[in-house]
Amino acid sequence: MSNEIEAIKDPGLPAHIHRKADHDPAAANRAERQVAILFGISALGTLLLIVSYIFVPQDLFFFIPVMGNQNAHQLGLGLGMAISLFFIGMGAIHWAKTLMPDTEVVAQRHEFRSPDADRKEFVDAVKSGATASGLGRRSLIKKSLGAALGLSALSPLLLLRDLGPSPKQDFQKTSWKSGTYLVTDPGNRRIKAADLEVGAVAQVLPEIADPEHRKLSDIGKDAVLLIRLRPQEFNLTPTKMAMTHDGIIAFSKICSHMGCAVALYEQQTKHLLCPCHQSTFDVTRGAKVIFGPAARPLPQLNISVDGEGYLVAREPFSEPVGPSFWERNSQ
Amino acid sequence: MLLILALLAIGTTFSIASATTTAQTTTADRTAQIEEGRQIFLKGCASCHGLNLEGGGIAPSLIGVGAASVDFQVGTGRMPLADMSAQAMRKAPLYDATETAALAAYVASTAPGPKVPSDSVLNYERDGSTAAGGELFRNNCAMCHNFAGQGGALSQGKYAPTLMGVDPKYIYEAMITGPQSMPVFSDKTITPAEKLSIIKWIKTAEKEPNLGGASLGRVGPVTEGLLGWILGLGLLIGVAVWLAMKAR
């Protein structure tokens, strides 16, 4: 038939090219010396490690052009170990490549199935074992073993409990309440509106009764950045403008994208940058996102001053701070 | 008792006398210094900042910026500008200490502003706390200047410069004046003592030895990863090629 495919002829193995060391004793001796030198370098590396560990003082520093000031003790340890391990490997490879036999060897595959005699012997052994254990007769053991095994298999399910407890309203709420004073972080001092010059920023937290034991999980939600601009520099809706005080505007410091601390404030451009993914917020327009992956502006805190001029929150955040989560209303 | 009274009287008289003499010389000196500063300003600065410090299209007004701001900008060589790039950079100062002081005195004479901190104020070794400084630094400075004070990038070619090897006076002045992209850190939200703590922490970080080998710029995973990928992976590839090569 004309369309029958002609089988490709097995080309067989290519002719083996022998190495120099295989037929030239001088080359073989040279290869042997090379391997010995590589192992010798490794031994020197180990010696360097030992000497550095015992004799080099830990406070000795010296200058290396590109690397700068280096600690001699640590450098000796690291370099010594690297040399000792690397050159053992290198020597072994060189040995195998130049001196060990490198001719191709044919190894035939065998059938995986065990001989019938072996298979029969195995089945017999299992059967006689089962009879000897008496599982069929002793139902008490059978049932209790079943219960024990079943229970132990169930136990990993317990770990599912660690998925909880449910955070409930924790993501929705922060510690800011109506009338909470703004305090410096760190320092926990109340701040007067007059204390901030135009162009100034301050990292603030809500005042709590026991600032020594402020929870990290609370700081992660409550952190706020205060920025003072000239009031005429703002370009805000009347509602948002009413939430500022005399040019002082307060934003949640938690990025609405992934929750990093947004605090790179460029005083000249009035831009706030998030260091993680370069989301950029325009402070004059209520932290509107002008660049980057953030989807929402940073929540703004409604602030005012009390009778003595101390800055105080007028109400809690009107929306959850930080990144999106399932239950969050994205509006 | 009489002796003590006498000593006290002598001491007080002397201090009053010396105080008045310094004050007198200062007044005369200051007028001359301000005039000298005005001359330097008219020659070197007025073309951008205006004849009356009012500023212009390319330069901000200098009214009320204070002596500290002038001392920082001119003393670190940022002003006068070398070119109109994104940001004025630190370079060898054009004016010497006397000229800088005269310029600062002139600018400060037009409107009140932050003063140059004196050496007695800047005793950070005595008045600062490294631990408190570290906490303040991480909260207020690290996001722009890097966790080890090495500086970092901002937007559009602007950057936060490294803090290594910066005179404590200039660090202090930068915090109270907020030069260029940097915001102001008020004395009430970060007290002068806290500012000294920050300086002390920076100076401690500067002296920190590289115990782990090369510091790679102390900028975190970027250089470490780059080195790992290029050097480490390069070495592995080289070894793999050598392994598979047939010996001759």
Name the residue ranges covered by the structural domains of chain A. 20-98, 182-313
Would you state the CATH architecture of domain B119-208? Orthogonal Bundle (1.10)
Q: State the pLDDT at residue A187.
A: 85
Q: State the pLDDT at residue B13.
A: 52
Copy the structure tokens of residue A119. Answer: 């298979």
Give the span between the Cα atoms of B201 and B194, in whole angstroms. Answer: 11
Report yes or no: A72 and A60 within 8 Å, Cβ to Cβ: yes
Q: State the pLDDT at residue B24.
A: 54
Give the span between the Cα atoms of A53 and A46, in whole angstroms. Answer: 11
Mean pLDDT of A90-95: 94
Q: State the pLDDT at residue B83.
A: 82
All CATH 1.10.760.10 domain ranges in chain B, comma separated = 26-116, 119-208
Number of cross-chain residue pairs from A and B with Cβ atoms under 8 Å apart? 108
Q: State the pLDDT at residue A1.
A: 52
**A257 — pLDDT class (breaks 50, 70, 90):** very high
Give the span between the Cα atoms of B41 and B106, in whole angstroms. Answer: 8
Report yes or no: B64 and B112 within 8 Å, Cβ to Cβ: yes
CB distance from B204 to chain A under 8 Å? Answer: no
Q: State the pLDDT at residue A50.
A: 96
Mean pLDDT for chain A?
Answer: 90
Mean pLDDT of A279-301: 93
Cβ pair A199:B184 closer than 8 A: yes
What are residue A266's DSSP bridge partners? A271
Cβ pair A192:B154 closer than 8 A: no
Return the residue in A265, A272, A289, A311 with the most chain B beta carbons within 10 A, the one to mutate for interface testing: A265
Tell me, rounded to whole angstroms, the distance of Cα B88 from its chain centroid: 13
Out of A192, A264, A267, name the one closest to residue B188 (CB).
A192
Q: State the pLDDT at residue B4.
A: 57
**A205 — pLDDT class (breaks 50, 70, 90):** very high
Give the span between the Cα atoms of B11 and A310, in whole angstroms. Answer: 45
Residues 176-195 of B with CB under 8 A from A: 178, 180-191, 194
Return the residue in B63, B175, B188 with the most chain A beta carbons within 10 A, the one to mutate for interface testing: B188
Q: pTM (2 decimals)?
A: 0.77
Q: State the pLDDT at residue B21.
A: 47
Reported as a single tens digit per residue, the pLDDT across A103-151 is 888 888 888 889 999 999 999 999 999 888 887 788 888 899 999 999 9
Give the span between the Cα atoms of B131 and B113, in whole angstroms. Answer: 31
Tell me, rounded to whole angstroms, the distance of Cα B73 from its chain centroid: 9
**Residue spans of chain B under pLDDT 70:** 1-25
User: Going by CATH, does the domain composed of A182-313 fall within 3.40.50.620?
Assistant: no
Distances (CA, A) of B98 to A107, B34, B73, B95, B104: 90, 11, 15, 8, 10
> Does the predicted interface ipTM exceed a cut of 0.95?
no
Give the span between the Cα atoms of B242 and A28, in whole angstroms. Answer: 19
Rounded to the nearest 10°, the torsion over CA B185, B51, B55, B111 is 30
Q: State the pLDDT at residue B100.
A: 92
B218 φ/ψ sector (left φ>0, alpha ψ -120 to 50, else beta): left
User: Going by CATH, does the domain composed of B26-116 fall within 1.10.760.10?
Assistant: yes
Identify which has the larger pLDDT, B193 or A1.
B193
Q: State the pLDDT at residue A191.
A: 92
Farthest CA pair distance, chain A: 106
- Chain B residue with the nearest C-alpha to that of A189: B189
Q: State the pLDDT at residue A68.
A: 75
Report yes or no: B79 and B95 within 8 Å, Cβ to Cβ: no
